[in-house]
Amino acid sequence: MTEIKKTLTILKARWPEVILIIGLTVLLPFLSKLLTKLKYDSALSLTVLATCFRLALMVVTIVLRSGFLRTVYLEGRKRQSIAVLLRTGLHFLWRMIVLGLLYAIPLLTLTLLSIRLAGKPTAPGETDILHNISLLVLVINIILMKFILLLPALVIVLDCRAFESFKFLKKCRLRDAGALIVLFCFNMAFPYLWMFSRTLYGTITTPQLIFRIVTSITTCFIGLIIAVTAVRFVGSLDLVYDNKPVSLDFEDLRKYTNRDLKE
């Protein structure tokens, strides 16, 4: 729990950045709902505009989050400007997209396969299908826990390519980070409170909507705690990556420039 406390200290010191990242992350699902509504109620041009805006917001969120994690590893509690986060995170954008695809494609394939194998129910219910899919996602996430937790952290800390991060996994023993495992499992199960609430009370009421927003914010915050703790855990292992890419990020460039000036 000491590591979690240290992580919370960093997040508390850098609260403006935390609020910005969580706010953008929470906004994305609501934009998806709006986009679905626009597909049926609006002109094609407005739908395309909303889709482009959502994709742009998603990219900005990924870049800010990556920049935040990298600067946490390099600078700890020191606050950074949005410009610095964007400039730093842009360096990792493509790698994070690759890692996301490596996770999303098998997950989507397994989900579609399981739905197909389950067959068409006699009285199909959207809620039952959603529950089955969510349960499948939960099981897959638990199985792939080490990959989900440590691959992005390895890329952020070592500044290595997405596929190269796999070879460092064997050097990371996840059982040494017990608090990280507990937090991850809790964060996976936490959204089920919303699903249970919908099943129990049926139609969505205003208190339920507020509860959903609070649940989303809490899930995002715990997710950020997990990401920062994972980065700090990987950083504590003193792993060495010798095959540095030619394009250095701004912190490395600044260090090399300062060294050359002194010499």
Q: 221-258: per-residue pLDDT in tens?
A: 999 999 999 999 999 998 888 765 444 444 444 443 34
Helix axes 178-189, 206-235, angle to 10 degrees: 160
Query: Which residues make Cβ contacts (< 8 Å) with residue 199, sequence separation at least 6?
Result: 127, 131
| Gap between the Cα atoms of 5 and 53, Å rounded | 36
Task: Kindly give the parts of the chain with pLDDT less than 70.
Answer: 1, 31-47, 50, 114-115, 117-133, 191-206, 208, 243-263
For residue 258, the model assigns a pLDDT of 44
For residue 147, the model assigns a pLDDT of 92
Query: Which residues make Cβ contacts (< 8 Å) with residue 149, sequence separation at least 6?
Result: 174, 180, 184, 226, 230
What are the helix and strand counts (H, E) for the chain? 11, 0
Which amino acid makes up residue 24? L
Q: Tens of pLDDT along 139-171?
A: 888 888 999 999 999 999 999 999 999 999 988
Please state the pTM of the whole predicted model.
0.80
Q: How far apart are the first and last CA of the chain?
A: 44
By the 8 A CB rule, do 79 and 99 touch? no
